[in-house]
Structure 1
Amino acid sequence: MDFNGIKGTYDVIFSLGKNCLVADQLSRHMLRKIGGVLDWVESPALPGVSHLLRNQFMNFMEFPNLAITGINEHAGCYIVRDAAYHIFSHHDFPLPENTPTQLLSYPELREKITRRVPRFLDTLRSSNRILFIRTEGTIHETAELLEVLNMQVAGEFNLLVINHAPVSGIVETPWPFPNVCALQIPLVPDEFHDNDYLWKTLLEGFHVRY
């Protein structure tokens, strides 16, 4: 699918990671209709996302699987890894409310997951047309993701994969999937801000039904 072909109106647009970038850009351009489960976490391994979706989020962020791996100074939170899916929370455990040995704000995260997961899965089953956006993924990882989405999504869906690469603009990558558009955008020091002008161009032509 080429870039012009994937544009259009969708019932909902969901981020599938790899970090907060997609959700942030969708919010800025008024395209984030409802929150997704992966909006504000880091999911560096796309196979982990496919595994999570295949399992319909079973045991996601369960307390025994969590471990503190660092501190996000910008967010003022502990970075907490879910070992089951190799997914990292950067925004759920504020430093003043938690300690290196006690994740005291875990109940708030659990409540959020309990609310968002059923809504996300119900949206996959009830929507007529969904767009998923993922940054960073190989062609083989994308093939696995498509297999999982085909099992979970009842209606029509398309997938936009955006990889950062040593390019100077937006470059289309010809992948052999009828409902996938793969693009490359510049690899920059600060991906959350340095490509803002390109994201504006990227998201033009996409709309959501409210």
Structure 2
Amino acid sequence: MRDLSSYNRVVIGLGGSCSVAYQIRRLGLRQASYPLDWFGMPDASLTASLIQSNFSSFMERDNLDILGITDNGLYYHVVDRKWDCHSFHDFPVVEGEPPLYNYELYYQTLQKRIHRFSDDLRKDKPVILIRMGYIQRDIPLLEEAISVIRQYPFDLLLINESHACKQPELIAKHKSTLQYLMPNGPSWYGNDDAWVKLACEVLKIEESGSKLGLE
């Protein structure tokens, strides 16, 4: 991978689970919001198709189903059934208001994030995209989808979690795509210590509170 330590690099989460957006923010690497932040989207091949379609019909109202309420009781668990994309943080439960009462405002915000995603991928800046969850046949699909938008080189970090893993482990590298195995964390947000080690190894940042934004 190229040197990604420059202040002007762009770090973009490609979802898979909410842990990616959470950890990017926790580590002080998050500069902006992007469309796949805070979504559970288990199928990486669908993620590739979504990117290549320029997020066509993504989270449109007619495609949404309410599956329940999140464990903390604060949000509706909503799925975009076309893209198998699960929202856990976008549609709050508010007494006296119907489900998805804030949909129009949410959708406007989502469109801004989609435009930012495309704009930032087109810029001549160092870019690394991070995705949690994949299988081998998904990799060329993701690389191709990103290449449709971006004419410059980019770096792709793909992560799977395993209870048998004790620390971040590089399991494969091909061109600018890195595949890592990561120990599971105690909850949805992942293993904080492992993410720090991964950020230091891959993003070349210093393991200190001030550098990682952990003060």
Q: TM-score, normalised by structure 2?
A: 0.85
Does the Cα contact within 8 Å between 1:6 and 1:158 map onto a contact in 2?
Answer: no
Query: Structure 2: which amino acid aligns with 1:184?
Result: L
Q: Which residue of 2 aligns with 1:138?
A: 135
* Structure 2 residues not aligned, in runs of 5+: 206-215
Does the Cα contact within 8 Å between 2:17 and 2:42 map onto a contact in 1?
Answer: yes
Q: Which residue of 1 aligns with 2:194?
A: 198
Q: Which residue of 2 aligns with 1:77?
A: 75
Matched, 1:38 2:39: no
DSSP 3-state at the match of 2:130: strand
Structure 1 residues 184 and 65, CA gap change in structure 2 (3 angstroms) = same
Query: Structure 2: which amino acid aligns with 1:93?
Result: F
Distance 2:83 2:17 in 1: 14
Q: Which residue of 2 aligns with 1:23?
A: 21
Does the Cα contact within 8 Å between 2:67 and 2:79 map onto a contact in 1?
Answer: yes
Does the Cα contact within 8 Å between 2:134 and 2:160 map onto a contact in 1?
Answer: yes
Distance 1:189 1:135 in 2: 16
How much has 1:106 moved relative to structure 2?
Answer: 0.7
Determine which of 102, 107, 110 is the counterpart of 1:110. 107
Distance 1:6 1:143 in 2: 23
**More strand per residue: 1 or 2?**
1
Does the Cα contact within 8 Å between 1:37 and 1:117 map onto a contact in 2?
Answer: yes
Does the Cα contact within 8 Å between 1:75 and 1:91 map onto a contact in 2?
Answer: no
Q: TM-score, normalised by structure 1?
A: 0.87
* Structure 1 residues not aligned, in runs of 5+: none
Distance 1:16 1:6 in 2: 21
DSSP 3-state at the match of 2:134: coil
How much has 1:187 moved relative to structure 2?
Answer: 3.0
Q: Which residue of 1 aligns with 2:212?
A: none
Q: Which residue of 2 aligns with 1:171?
A: 169
Distance 2:124 2:56 in 1: 22
Matched, 1:159 2:168: no
Q: Which residue of 2 aligns with 1:88?
A: 86
DSSP 3-state at the match of 2:143: helix
Query: Structure 1: which amino acid aligns with 2:115?
Result: P
| Root-mean-square deviation (Å) | 2.1
How much has 1:78 moved relative to structure 2?
Answer: 0.5
Query: Structure 1: which amino acid aligns with 2:15?
Result: G
Percent same amino acid at aligned positions?
28
Query: Structure 1: which amino acid aligns with 2:23?
Result: Q
Does the Cα contact within 8 Å between 2:158 and 2:179 map onto a contact in 1?
Answer: yes
Deviating more after overlay: 5-14 vs 59-68: 5-14
Query: Structure 2: which amino acid aligns with 1:146?
Result: E
